[in-house]
Chains A and B, each alone.
Chain A
């Protein structure tokens, strides 16, 4: 077990709704990254937060946004959900500058109907 916890584990939403996913990072880690893993695909980088600031972003529209809190936990918010947003959302924590030490949570499975 990595110490990275995500909630909820499963979620069902309808198109157009908004969703918030949560992640508690491993103790001592100050960086959180979010990835989207569509069925049968590898994870795609959404963005990373370091010291409460966005520190890199992948090719995702602005309706994907995030927050990092002083305790380094994080939220991923998705507005105006689309069917293609259905995926496993993975959170990973690390100590800044050491991507090879990413520790992943088990993910939140989001289904958009």
Chain B
């Protein structure tokens, strides 16, 4: 079945460090790929998305590129801030099959000032 695997956390970085959170997926169709973020006490928010191979999603300084050849969608940010501390979820959806989104287990990110 379809699935998402992302690196386990927690990930702890100093402010202004470079961030990479790895994500790989398995899907039998042509999925759309997402990164969601969950700040403490809040619901999930869509951070960025990509709908086809080689697309790059970007938002708030975060980027991820849809790599079909490696089935990956790694999240990157060049300089993290304390306010980026949250849980990040990689996810996929295969449209026209069913309407569910499949999430990874999440990666907790701590940014130290």
Partner of A104, one of B44, B49, B51, B98: B44
Q: Which 10 A-B pairs have the closest CB atoms?
A: A42-B103, A104-B43, A45-B100, A104-B44, A56-B98, A106-B43, A99-B93, A56-B99, A42-B105, A43-B103
- Taking A31-B99, A99-B32 as known contacts, 16 extra A-B pairs with beta carbons closer than 8 A to each other, sorted by chain A number, are A4-B43, A33-B101, A40-B106, A42-B103, A56-B98, A58-B100, A90-B43, A90-B44, A99-B99, A99-B100, A100-B32, A100-B51, A100-B93, A102-B101, A104-B44, A106-B42
Size class of A's contact patch? 20 to 34
**Residue total for B at the interface (Cβ-Cβ under 8 A):** 24
- The main secondary structure of chain A at its interface with chain B is mixed
- Contact yes or no, B34 A100, CB < 8 A: yes
Q: Which of B43, B46, B98, B102 contacts A107 (CB under 8 A)? A: B43
Assembly CA distance A45 to B105 (angstroms): 13
A40 vs chain B, min Cβ distance (A): 7
Using a CB–CB cutoff of 8 Å, the interface residues on chain A facing chain B are 2, 4, 31, 33, 35, 40-45, 48, 50, 55-56, 58, 90, 92, 97, 99-102, 104-107
Interface centre among A50, A55, A99, A106 (most CB of B within 10 A): A99
